Amino acid sequence: MAISRKEEARALSADEKELVEKSHHPAVQELSDGDLSGLVKLLRERRDKAQAEAHRRRREIRGKGAPKGAAPSKADGGSQVKLAVLATAMRRLNGEAERRRQLAARVSLVGNARKALAMKQNAPVDGPAHNSRTAHKGMRAVTNERAPKLVPPAELGRQRKAGKVAQAKRDAR
């Protein structure tokens, strides 16, 4: 389920709220590539920290981990919401980074295609229209060095079967 901005503000500290605000739609597209990668790094660190905290609190509640304070935690709803908000912000930032990477790849591909077309159009017409390192006579059959078999395969099979029948008659005596 989507988390409203009001719930985000309640779950985050002031500096985390500022980072998450930069990951929302209009602001994330205005970031430069360097700022985006820096924001991804900062937000990933905060998310990992929140994940470790939520994990520690869940262990305290189950009674498996030692309490961090004087008494063990009773609930971890806030840490779970904080983790969900930071993880969603990370997903948005990763999506934007991937979108920019794909856009750069498309631009590069178009540039390379135009360059190849220009090279093809500027190529000399009188030269060979094929790779000059290959033979120009086409494929030729390679002669078989084995001696031809003079006995037809059916005759070999007939003789093999006759030998089996003769051996079976001898064994039956």
What pLDDT score does 39 carry?
A: 93
Identify the band that residue 127 occupies on the pLDDT scale cut at 50, 70 and 90: low
Structure tokens given for 15: 């500096």
DSSP, collapsed to helix, strand or coil, labels residue 101 as helix
Q: Measured over all CA atoms, what is the biggest interatomic distance in the chain, rounded to whole angstroms?
A: 103
Q: What is the DSSP letter of 69?
A: S
- Calpha distance 3→6 (Å, rounded): 8
Identify the band that residue 73 occupies on the pLDDT scale cut at 50, 70 and 90: confident
Please, what is the average pLDDT of the chain?
Answer: 87
- Which of 78, 93, 84, 76 has its CA nearest to residue 19? 93
What predicted TM-score, i.e. pTM, was given to this entire model?
0.61
